[in-house]
Structure 1
Amino acid sequence: MVGDDAQGLGQHSGPRPVTVEQTVERTLGHIRALDPDDRPGGNTLTLEDLYRQHRMRLVRLAVLLVDDAATAEDVVQEAFTGLYRNWSGLRDGAAAVGYLRTAVVNGSRSVLRRRKTAREYQPPHMINARSAESLAMLTAEHQAVVAALGQLPPRQREVLVLRYYGGMSEAEIAESTGISRGTVKSTASRALDALQKIIKT
């Protein structure tokens, strides 16, 4: 990890170097803070409430996964359409939010698969296609981290975005992505290693 060499030297001349994990957490936490609190309520939530409270955060989640604002909007719209169809089978607001997150992840995966098949994938570093409201308030450092995330393989990016933007635990990520908790942990570790190399270049 960055900063290991500086530990134990007994010097206090400056702050310790920031790790790549702290950098990612700071950037995605900053983007998350742009949205209102989206903690689900109880059984009184309506579909309209969920749309109003969660749509923007879900769009940003999808943007971070597919690198295109218009496509992200479509993915989220499909997720809410699916939620409407399955509304009667959901227990409460938390279950509905979980359904939406999983639907956005799966919808984003489908988009990336179609792009790969059609060979129409745009380079992830072309961040001008992202949501203007998301990036307008970001510093150059934060934008560089978002661009670096876009260069990761889809699953690695997915795990980091869900962890540090979605604020999800390993268990929640495993449930949303359909992979084991062990795979979530190892994927996150590989992703952070890869990000460190990208950011340093």
Structure 2
Amino acid sequence: MPVIAPMPAARPAQLPSQRGGAEETVAAGTTVDHLTETYRAHYRSLLGLAALLLDDTASCEDVVQEAFIRVHSARNRVREPEKTLAYLRQTVVNLSRSALRRRILGLKLLSKPMPDMASAEEGAYDRLERDALIKAMKGLQRRQREVLVLRYFADMTEAQVAETLGVSLGSVKAYGSRGIAALRVVMEAQT
């Protein structure tokens, strides 16, 4: 059986700013170690700050994480390391405001539901009524059906219907009233 040599111990990876020593500051800025300690010590308090400004935990955690990422990215510009917590707090507040603005804008852009939207049952009932009406319309005389369709479905005036069909205004009124009476009889018989 072959003997397997043990793997050499891996050297711990060092962050670029740690190579010269853990206490080295990067261009007179905040060290990664200082930011890590700030994270450990103040994460919960920053999360609480975000919770006061936002309403859900996931957004609060996202905001605090993003604040640490931004301060970490800008750590070279932090001249006084003791102000790191103040920068983090301000970043949390600003990011929370931005999150609220995005939500408000998103709510404004959402399509608003139709206030009179029918339920599925009402839609099925309406379809049955419409099918019964179409069937009843097919049973009318041709002129009665034409007058009713043009007057009520095409939303034409009586004068426009008379002109379209080439009949007098009195004929349109007569065909319309007789057609409605015939429809009423058929629809009441179906219920």
TM range (shorter): 0.3 to 0.5
* Relative contact order higher in (CA < 8 Å, ≥ 6 apart): 1
Q: Which is higher, the Rg of structure 1 or of structure 2?
A: 2
If the length of structure 2 is used for normalisation, what is the TM-score?
Answer: 0.38
